[in-house]
């Protein structure tokens, strides 16, 4: 069992009713504890990929499995953290209440959380160093703190795979470091993490692998394999300029979404 990928995606096609193939030909494996940056231009299908893996939208063909289990029976083992602009931060809830929402499947309908559920909430908040904020209103938190609370909400459902959609957007340098520290803790805990990001610098320095896509998979592997002129041109087209340094062999990328 330990040799099985934590997440396996095979020949996936998915999308919405008016475009059931918003993404297609997507195949990759991620091992337990690995950290993968999912990169590509706006409209590349990064969010669609995450929503299909998390079971929020259906996939029209292919297979997704978590730890060898069909994802249709293991969605509770996959946690999804949406982009911050998709969340109503004025909702009058405490940090503890927001994290407890992740326990909905375990608690069941029309039942109140018990001691075990609150213990799990505190454990998840401790993993992201937010346990002292359990009684604070979610709207009072900084951007980085909000992200960590939503990571805790995903973890409290005992997620083995975590999908973070643009978690670095709008964060100041301190909050950015907070999220990276949290990701390090999750790696130590054996949690597999996929992060959709436009931040090329962090993608190439803070992650084990890169997954580059533009509706379909263009390249997957370590930075040296993926971060090539041909691959970047295939993904970003005329919006990217790639310069090869003859001495260092590094690639310098200029793009409206790549920094």
Q: What is the mean pLDDT of the chain?
A: 85
Give the mean model confidence (pLDDT) for residues 98-126: 83
For residue 236, what are its two tokens? Answer: 């970003």
Cα 24 to Cα 10, 80, 195: the distances in Å are: 10, 21, 19
Q: DSSP label at 99? A: H
| Alpha helix (H) residue ranges in the chain | 46-54, 95-100, 104-107, 115-127, 143-155, 173-188, 200-205, 223-226, 229-236
Mean pLDDT, residues 89-93 taken together: 76
pLDDT digits over 233-255, tens only? Answer: 899 887 676 666 665 455 656 55
Q: What is the pLDDT of residues 141-165, one digit of tens each?
A: 988 898 899 899 988 888 889 999 9
What's the CA gap between 256 and 182, in Å, rounded? 28
In angstroms, rounded to a whole number, what is the distance separating the alpha carbons of residues 246 and 142? 43
Which residue do the tokens 């231009």 mark? 41
Q: What is the pLDDT of residues 18-30, one digit of tens each?
A: 676 799 999 999 9
Supply the pLDDT for residue 76: 66
Among the listed residues 132, 160, 158, the one whose alpha carbon sits nearest the alpha carbon of residue 148 = 132
Q: Report, in this order, helix, strand and coil percent for the chain, each rounded to 5.
A: 40, 30, 30
Write down the residue that tokens 């084990």 correspond to: 208
Give the residue-averaged pLDDT of 191-199: 94
Percent of the chain with pLDDT over 90: 42
Domains parsed from the chain with CATH numbers: 7-91+158-254 (3.40.50.300)
- Which pLDDT band holds residue 259 (cuts at 50, 70, 90)? very low
DSSP class of residue 167 equals T
Question: Would you place residue 175 in the very low, low, confident or very high pLDDT band (cuts 50, 70, 90)?
Answer: confident
* Residue 193 token pair: 């993490």
pLDDT band at 221 (very low <50, low <70, confident <90, very high): very high
Instruction: Point out which residues pair with 214 in neighbouring strands.
Output: 216
């Amino acid at each position: 069992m330990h040799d099985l990928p934590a997440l396996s995606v095979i020949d996936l096609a998915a999308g919405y009713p008016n475009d059931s193939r918003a993404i297609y030909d997507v195949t990759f494996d991620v091992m337990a504890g690995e950290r993968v940056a999912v990169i590509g231009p706006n409209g590349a299908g990064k969010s669609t990929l995450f929503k299909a893996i998390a079971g929020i939208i259906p996939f029209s063909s292919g297979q997704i499995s978590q730890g060898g289990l069909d994802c249709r029976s293991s969605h509770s083992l996959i946690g999804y953290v949406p982009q911050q602009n998709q969340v109503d931060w004025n909702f009058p809830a405490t940090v503890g209440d927001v994290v407890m929402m992740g326990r909905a499947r375990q608690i069941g309908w029309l039942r109140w959380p018990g001691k075990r559920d609150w213990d799990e909430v505190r454990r998840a908040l401790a993993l992201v160093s937010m346990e002292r904020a359990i009684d604070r209103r979610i709207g009072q938190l900084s951007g980085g703190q909000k992200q960590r609370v939503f990571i805790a909400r995903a973890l409290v459902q005992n997620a083995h795979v975590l999908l973070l959609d643009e978690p670095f957007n709008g964060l100041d340098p301190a909050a950015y470091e907070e999220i990276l520290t949290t990701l390090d803790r999750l790696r130590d805990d054996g949690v597999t993490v996929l992060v959709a990001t436009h931040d090329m610098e962090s993608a190439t320095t803070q992650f084990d692998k890169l997954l580059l896509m533009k509706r379909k998979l263009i390249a997957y592997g370590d930075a040296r394999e993926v971060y090539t002129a041909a691959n970047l041109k295939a993904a970003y087209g005329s919006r990217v300029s790639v310069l090869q340094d003859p001495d260092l062999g590094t690639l310098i990328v200029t793009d409206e979404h790549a920094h």
